[in-house]
Structure 1
Amino acid sequence: MNTLGIGLIGTGYMGKCHALAWNSVAATFGTDIRPRLVHLGEVNETLAKQRAAEFGFEKSSGDWRAVIDDPDVQIVSITSPNQFHKDMATAALDAGKHVWCEKPMSTGLQDAEAMLMAAERTDRLCVLGYNYIQSPAFRQIETLVKNGRIGRVTNIRVEMDEDFMAAPDMLHSLKHRAESGHGALDDFAVHPLSLLQRLCGLPVEVMADAARPYETLKDAHGVDKKVETFDIASALMRFRDGLTGTLIVNRSAWGRKGRIALQILGTEGSILFDQERANEFQLYQRSDEAEIQGFRTVLIAPIHAPYNHFVPAPGHGLGFNELKVIEAYEILNALSGKPARLVDFSDGIQIERVVHAMAQSHASGKWTSTFG
């Protein structure tokens, strides 16, 4: 069996998620390639050594460049804060490594464009971490839509809400500073946009607004600091062929924990999905007999691949980490020359351009083209 040397930069929530995925993918899917956890990088040697022992990496370094320079590393997982993605990804690509970089590409469109240029200089695989497209429920929804089971889609609505930035007494952090990006738009909106990209393509024109619930927050020393990013954003969207849609994202929505709610409305029916209930969706079809018309709940089961690789019975459900294992499997498929369901840098830059257009629209108060 071939092995793939794994490098990991960053060991926070998403770093651990990548490590779990690389550790699980071969056993889950019986792959031809077996990942080998080679080299982990963190901000200092002590933390790197601790995380390497916990995650199962052979080596560790307090400098991310050492991970990229390691000849035993073939692919680099980048899970650092967003503002470091460009330098790390371009360095890895220039060193001949494959890249699996968490979303968004970067904190600004210019840096994202630089990442795409680096990808185009090489034949290496360049993947972005959009794991929600891997959901068995969403895969089935996508199949239903593309097979015309709800007719022609006329309107699509998507919301993403969490409450991890809702508290008025939270400390001012990196996510409140402009260097981290626009805020909810690039931190959040990129995920629902990745779903739209699969379902109906991305919008060609947007009208957006953004807001912040708090103008200032105290830092760790009790000093008031200006909040420079926007935790709330909404947009009207126009697509090709007359399709319209709305997007609403909020990082300060009390009670919401991991909500990505889709409403797909067509000429022959509708589909509803909410990521907080990730293992089911609702389907309405006008063709049903009048006396039984209504939304039916479709529970995800082994028939909805790749659920069957994890659980042999319906109703048990998959979670966030399993979606990342599926994403790792798709990466191994791509490296083996097989068809793969992924968001690469060329797909990702389209998402970044939509986010940038929404930010421009908010600033100008006008409808804005997503083509620049």
Structure 2
Amino acid sequence: MDGSIGVGLIGTGYMGKCHALAWNGVKAVFGDCARPRLVQLAEVTQDLAQRKADEFGFQRGTGDWRELVADPDVEVVSITTPNAFHAEMAIAALEAGKHVWCEKPMAVALVDAERMAAAAKASGKVAVLGYNYIQSPLMRQIEALLQEGAIGTVNHIRLEMDEDFMADPEALFYWKSEASSGYGAPDDFGVHPLSLLQVLFGPVTKVFANLSRPYADRPTVEGTRRAVETFDIASVLFELGEGISGVMALNRSAWGRKGRVALQIFGSAGTIVFDQERFNELQIYSAADRQSLQGFRTILAGPQHPPYDRFIPAPGHGLGFNDLKIIECHELLRRIGGEDARVIDFQTGLNIERAVHAMAQSHREQRWVVI
């Protein structure tokens, strides 16, 4: 991967900082790419943009994201804004001839996600989505185990994603409870487990979903209450292309859960268990073990699980969330350089978006929906 690439970042919240850390760290961790040039950062005001540019190591800041997209020194744009802004910004960047790294989900409306994919195809530029959980060294190990048939033929999958950032009924109303942000649990949230399914098994082909709101309204800063417009809980039956059945449970209001993406894969000869809250370990049960030794084995991540070795030379010490973002950044640079890369691009991301909208349709119509 030769040649330093000019980076623009739109948005400096939680995920914006993750992207900035990744752009700052990718050269030091992997060493096989030129150090990115952090050219420009965009925020809602010039003052905030310049302050964050100084903090994150960007050359300059702007209060107008369109100025960043038009900057000839910017070659790739990181988009980490709220969901409703993704489509407009990504399409503008692609039409300006920039590569795009956009946080999930693609867009609120399916038609906008389709427009984003079409714009990426027309531009010939690389456009990928921020699904960093697929980058886990042990998620790669799970994929290898499945490919070698370690648990036989897979016949059922259970997936749970739970967090508690919406658990308090008296937490203030904010944009994630507005319909303009999407459906809630299925798209703001459930796209992560869907990304794991996409990488390990391919697209979901059929869903039956029930969506619910645990709290009808939330308090506002003005002292009134406002109706919650999105769904914080989703229960989904699904099928995959090879006839594999599955269950997915999503809950943004689950007290005590902080970052749980629990995956259980059941096969004819064993079971694999993984939980994102403990993503430096996986468990495997093999029916081939002699009966006196049968039981789940816990495997700790180590340098034998690339690219863990790029961070730490010793097993069991553990990577973190932002490390996955650095790996994702490296994969993006590989794709831009014309190499094979582990990414979910806009075209593949449409499979995930279609599954989300099928869930919403299923809930409305109370029936199975074929995707």
TM-score, structure 1 as length reference? 0.98
8 Å Cα contact 1:162-1:254 kept in structure 2: yes
Return the offset for 1:95.
0.2
* Residue type of the alignment partner of 1:87: E
Return the offset for 1:32.
2.9
Corresponding residue for 1:295? Answer: 296
Corresponding residue for 1:320? Answer: 321
Corresponding residue for 1:280? Answer: 281
8 Å Cα contact 1:161-1:250 kept in structure 2: yes
Corresponding residue for 2:370? Answer: 369
8 Å Cα contact 1:25-1:31 kept in structure 2: no
Corresponding residue for 1:217? Answer: 218
Question: In structure 2, what is the Cα distance between the partners aligned to 1:149 and 1:67?
Answer: 48
8 Å Cα contact 1:210-1:233 kept in structure 2: yes
**More displaced 10-residue stretch of structure 1: 32-41 or 189-198:** 32-41
Return the offset for 1:45.
0.6
**Which secondary structure state, in structure 2, belongs to the residue aligned with residue 107 of structure 1?**
coil
- Asked if 1:139 is matched to 2:137, the reply is no
Corresponding residue for 1:200? Answer: 201
Corresponding residue for 1:51? Answer: 52
- Asked if 1:68 is matched to 2:80, the reply is no
Question: In structure 1, what is the Cα distance between the partners aligned to 2:188 and 2:28?
Answer: 32
Corresponding residue for 1:250? Answer: 251
Question: In structure 2, what is the Cα distance between the partners aligned to 1:116 and 1:3?
Answer: 26
Question: In structure 2, what is the Cα distance between the partners aligned to 1:331 and 1:240?
Answer: 28
Question: In structure 1, what is the Cα distance between the partners aligned to 2:204 and 2:92?
Answer: 32
**Which secondary structure state, in structure 2, belongs to the residue aligned with residue 60 of structure 1?**
strand
Question: In structure 2, what is the Cα distance between the partners aligned to 1:174 and 1:20?
Answer: 25
Corresponding residue for 1:87? Answer: 88
**More displaced 10-residue stretch of structure 1: 199-208 or 60-69:** 199-208
Question: In structure 1, what is the Cα distance between the partners aligned to 2:340 and 2:265?
Answer: 27
Deviation track 1:270-292 (CA, whole Å, cap 9, x = no partner) reads 00000100100100001111110
8 Å Cα contact 1:6-1:75 kept in structure 2: yes
8 Å Cα contact 2:94-2:100 kept in structure 1: yes
8 Å Cα contact 2:237-2:247 kept in structure 1: yes
Q: How does 1:93-172 map to 2 (within 5 A)?
A: 93-172=94-173
* Residue type of the alignment partner of 2:349: G
Corresponding residue for 1:22? Answer: 23
Question: In structure 2, what is the Cα distance between the partners aligned to 1:60 and 1:286?
Answer: 58
* Residue type of the alignment partner of 2:125: R
* Residue type of the alignment partner of 1:123: G
Unpaired runs of at least 5, structure 2: none
Deviation track 1:312-360 (CA, whole Å, cap 9, x = no partner) reads 0001100100000000110111122211000000110110000000000
Return the offset for 1:242.
2.2
* Residue type of the alignment partner of 1:178: A
Question: In structure 2, what is the Cα distance between the partners aligned to 1:296 and 1:227?
Answer: 43
Deviation track 1:132-151 (CA, whole Å, cap 9, x = no partner) reads 00000111011101111000
Deviation track 1:75-96 (CA, whole Å, cap 9, x = no partner) reads 0000001100000000000000
Corresponding residue for 1:341? Answer: 342
TM-score, structure 2 as length reference? 0.99
8 Å Cα contact 1:235-1:358 kept in structure 2: yes
Question: In structure 1, what is the Cα distance between the partners aligned to 2:181 and 2:291?
Answer: 52
Corresponding residue for 1:8? Answer: 9
Return the offset for 1:170.
0.5
Question: In structure 2, what is the Cα distance between the partners aligned to 1:285 and 1:351?
Answer: 31
8 Å Cα contact 1:105-1:112 kept in structure 2: yes
Question: In structure 1, what is the Cα distance between the partners aligned to 2:125 and 2:338?
Answer: 12
* Residue type of the alignment partner of 1:86: A
Question: In structure 2, what is the Cα distance between the partners aligned to 1:202 and 1:185?
Answer: 15
**Which secondary structure state, in structure 2, belongs to the residue aligned with residue 242 of structure 1?**
coil
8 Å Cα contact 2:204-2:351 kept in structure 1: no
Number of residues of Structure 1 aligned to a counterpart in Structure 2: 370
**Which secondary structure state, in structure 1, belongs to the residue aligned with residue 107 of structure 2?**
coil
- Asked if 1:357 is matched to 2:348, the reply is no
8 Å Cα contact 2:281-2:300 kept in structure 1: yes
Return the offset for 1:240.
2.4
Question: In structure 2, what is the Cα distance between the partners aligned to 1:332 and 1:300?
Answer: 24
Q: Which runs of at least 4 in structure 1 moved beyond 6 Å after TM superposition?
A: none
**Which secondary structure state, in structure 2, belongs to the residue aligned with residue 343 of structure 1?**
coil
Corresponding residue for 1:239? Answer: 240
**Which secondary structure state, in structure 1, belongs to the residue aligned with residue 143 of structure 2?**
helix
Question: In structure 1, what is the Cα distance between the partners aligned to 2:65 and 2:37?
Answer: 18
* Residue type of the alignment partner of 2:370: S
**Which secondary structure state, in structure 1, belongs to the residue aligned with residue 108 of structure 2?**
coil
Question: In structure 2, what is the Cα distance between the partners aligned to 1:116 and 1:122?
Answer: 10
Deviation track 1:123-179 (CA, whole Å, cap 9, x = no partner) reads 100010000000001110111011110000000010100000100111111111100
Corresponding residue for 2:333? Answer: 332
Q: For the aligned residues, what is the CA RMSD?
A: 0.7
Unpaired runs of at least 5, structure 1: none
* Residue type of the alignment partner of 2:13: G
